[in-house]
Amino acid sequence: MPGNGTVTRSTLRQQIADALRDEVLAGRLRPGRAFTVKEIAEQYGVSATPVREALVDLSAQGILEADQHRGFRVPEYSVADYRNMIEARGLVTDGMFRVIADGHPAFPAPSEDPRTAASLATVRRRGEEAQRAATAGDLTVLIGYDLRFWRELSALFGNPYLGDFLHRLRVQAWVCAVQHLLRLPDLRGRLWARHTELVDALARGETEQARAIVTAANAHSLALLELLTNG
């Protein structure tokens, strides 16, 4: 049936995209690594169509770059690129906190709305897992929980376009950061791990404190990458 074929192709497309994204974020596909649709299709033993669709999806997310007439490659982001990503992300989150402080209808005060409090509690659990991974120096686990943490936190604002934009920036920032962080033999104690402090500040309605925590997080990440880049 045509419907079954569509579902199968869509599932393959997502599975291939997920697998390649994980490879890039784990640093196993290094910056500059190029490949063709045919190469990936042969590697996974599937047809070219779902592979091409998966690679286009990853390019739209900034995880891969389309190399005209030659296939796709892992982008080689510079520290300047990372700085710009951090700046863009910071401007958006700063604006979100300002609007929340002014009483955004999609984010009622947790002390007055049990749904907001429950949602923050769920986000906090993601933050706890991210902190454990950061403390242990487990970069792969940290990235997974960190992305979920920020995705779910931004979703509380009630604007899916904003959430998608921030998620894309965070993914790109991790793609850039991983290539540098893997130079360190031991990441324990080097990675930002104040996720629960941020949630707790928002739960108390302390948006200025939340902004300060995010600003410190961005500064910490940028300083670490600059240090690694400068040797």
Contact 62, 168 (CB under 8 A): yes
Write out pLDDT tens, residues 170-190.
Answer: 999 999 999 899 989 999 989
Question: Looking at the domain 2-73, which fold is it?
Answer: Arc Repressor Mutant, subunit A (1.10.10)
User: Residue 67, SS3?
Assistant: strand
Question: Which tokens hold the place of 170?
Answer: 């965070």
Question: Has residue 4 got a pLDDT over 50?
Answer: no
Write out pLDDT tens, residues 119-177.
Answer: 999 999 999 999 999 999 999 999 999 999 999 999 988 889 999 999 999 999 999 99
Question: Which tokens hold the place of 136?
Answer: 């242990």
Position of tokens 């920020």? Answer: 150
Question: Has residue 3 got a pLDDT over 60?
Answer: no
Write out pLDDT tens, residues 110-121.
Answer: 777 888 889 999
Question: Which tokens hold the place of 102?
Answer: 């002014």
Write out pLDDT tens, residues 60-108.
Answer: 988 999 987 779 999 999 999 999 999 999 999 998 888 887 877 777 7
Residue 8: pLDDT band (50, 70, 90) is low
Residue 56: pLDDT band (50, 70, 90) is very high
Q: Given this model, what pLDDT does residue 68 score?
A: 75
Distance between CA atoms of 112 and 16, rounded to whole angstroms? Answer: 44
Write out pLDDT tens, residues 21-37.
Answer: 999 999 999 899 999 99
How many Cα atoms are found within 13 Å in the side-chain-facing hemisphere of 4? 1
Percent of the chain scoring above 90 in pLDDT: 70
Question: Has residue 9 got a pLDDT over 70?
Answer: no
Query: Per-domain residue ranges for the chain?
Result: 2-73, 79-229
Average pLDDT of the chain is: 89
Q: How far is CA 70 from CA 16, 30, 36, 39, 66, in A?
A: 19, 17, 7, 12, 8
Report, at the CATH architecture level, how domain 79-229 is classified.
Answer: Up-down Bundle (1.20)
Question: Which tokens hold the place of 137?
Answer: 């120096």
Contact 67, 196 (CB under 8 A): no
Q: Which run of H or of E encompasses 140? A: helix 139-155
Rounded to an integer, the average pLDDT of 5-9 is 49
